Amino acid sequence: MKQDIARLFLAQGIERVGVCALQDLPQLMECRAKSRMPSRAQSVIVCLLPYYPGEYPERNVARYALCDDYHPAALGLLERVCADLGQAFPGHAFVPFVDNSPIPEVRAAALAGLGRKGRHGMLIAPTYGCHVFIGSVVTDLALEPDRPVTESCGSCRACLDACPSGALSEQGFVKERCRSFLTQKRGGLEPWQEEEIRRGGMVWGCDVCLDACPCKGKTLSPLEEMRKNPLPILTRENLAQALAVKAYAYRGEKVLLRNLKLIEQGK
Ligand code: B12
């Protein structure tokens, strides 16, 4: 059964698929998408969506957000897989989720054998490293779970040493200090938070911990959907156009203009 499932994902270009039992995820996350969970859900089919689009050293936007918004693209791929799964297994439910998901995706992917959780908190997968998005399909089929990956980063602390804001340390991850989080934060910022954005020079997101990771992976994404229209430098001039298609659009113009202004001050 799992081979048939993997074949249907592969038909959409998705090469890496694994399964974990829903009951092994101790807590689902509260979010609007939770209402889409199928009743009597039993298994989570987790998949990797590699996104590395190239280096773009001059970029002021995190690599994951350079190309057109991955959310509708990934959901589109998974919806097509779900339609095929519905035909192959009539009477069963298949519901796709990406990012805005009740599934703690990094944990689910590690449990499904797709890679290990790095010290930076992200999944590190063979070949693609941490440059992967994670998607999942929740189903009421009882599928045999794959073997979890429980390896750790050993003595490597490259991401901890590189994190410029102290968000990553031996003590764990402090979201409120993460530059990626700060560039997304709405409303007023404290002076130290503004300074982090100025120093980081990124209008959206942060890649410092990924770039420092020796297992980051630099294989160009085989998924055309993840490589559309890279826009490495966001400016006041191209902002309106970018807001029509990029992942950061959901945060709105105000937050992005604030970040652009802070970065101009830092130059
Ligand atoms: C909220 C969120 C953020 C927040 C907070 C991140 C955080 N680390 O808490 C902010 C805005 C800061 C953020 C930033 C980024 N994010 Co984000 N984010 C999410 C989101 C929506 C939820 C994460 C969450 O709160 N999880 C709940 C907590 C409890 O889980 P956890 O911290 O992973 O792990 C705990 C347990 O699960 C357990 N555990 C974890 N793994 C395992 C494995 C095993 C085997 C076991 C037993 C236990 C275990 O231990 C942990 C401690 O208790 C996920 C999507 C999703 N639905 O999961 C994306 C997601 C994690 N983000 C993603 C990305 C790409 C990023 C950025 C790289 C973007 C960027 N370049 O700026 C940065 C990276 C920052 C960083 N170092 O984490 C990707 C990561 C892909 C990957 N390869 O792992 C995800 C999966 C989205 C996606 N669909 O692809 N993010």
The Cα–Cα gap between 162 and 159 comes to 5
Ligand 1 atom nearest the C-alpha of 98 is 89
Which one of the listed residues 99, 140, 146, 211 is annotated catalytic? 99
Q: Which amino acid is at 110?
A: A
Buried b (16+ CB within 10 A) or exposed e, 16-33: bbbbbbbeebeeeeeeeb
Q: What is the pLDDT of residue 180?
A: 98
Residue 13 alpha carbon to ligand 1 centre in Å: 24
| pLDDT single digits (tens) 180-238 | 999 999 988 999 999 999 999 999 999 999 999 999 999 999 999 999 999 999 999 99
| pLDDT single digits (tens) 7-56 | 999 999 999 999 999 999 989 999 999 999 999 999 999 999 999 999 99
Give the pairing of strands 94-98 and 168-169: unpaired
Q: For ligand 1, atom 41, which residue shows the shortest CA distance?
A: 107
Q: How far is CA 158 from CA 89, 118, 146, 152, in A?
A: 45, 11, 29, 13
The Cα–Cα gap between 98 and 47 comes to 10
Q: What is the pLDDT of residue 267?
A: 72
| pLDDT single digits (tens) 116-169 | 999 999 999 999 999 999 999 999 999 999 999 999 999 999 999 999 999 999
Instruction: Taking residues 73-84, report their average pLDDT.
Output: 98
Ligand 1 atom nearest the C-alpha of 116 is 43
| pLDDT single digits (tens) 180-193 | 999 999 988 999 99
Q: Which residues pair with 172 in a beta bridge?
A: 169
Instruction: Tell me, letter by letter, the H, E, C secondary structure of 83-139.
Output: HHHHHHCCCCCEEEEECCCCCCHHHHHHHCCCCEECCCCCEEECCCECCEEEEEEEE
| pLDDT single digits (tens) 255-265 | 999 999 999 98
Would you mind telling me the total number of residues written for the chain in this entry?
Answer: 267
The per-residue DSSP string of 165-216 comes to TS-EETTEE-GGG-HHHHHH--S---HHHHHHHHHH--SB---HHHHH-TT-
Torsion of CA 196, 202, 204, 207, to 10 degrees: -90
Quickly tell me which residue has 């773009």 as its tokens.
56
The Cα–Cα gap between 217 and 267 comes to 31
Residue of 64, 105, 223 with the most ligand 1 atoms within 8 Å of its CB, for mutation: 105
Quickly tell me which residue has 């081979």 as its tokens.
3
**Whether residue 24 lies in the annotated active site:** no
pTM for the predicted model, two decimal places:
0.95
Quickly tell me which residue has 């069963």 as its tokens.
92
**Band of the pLDDT at 266, cuts 50, 70, 90?**
confident
∠219-154-107 over CA atoms, to 5°?
Answer: 65
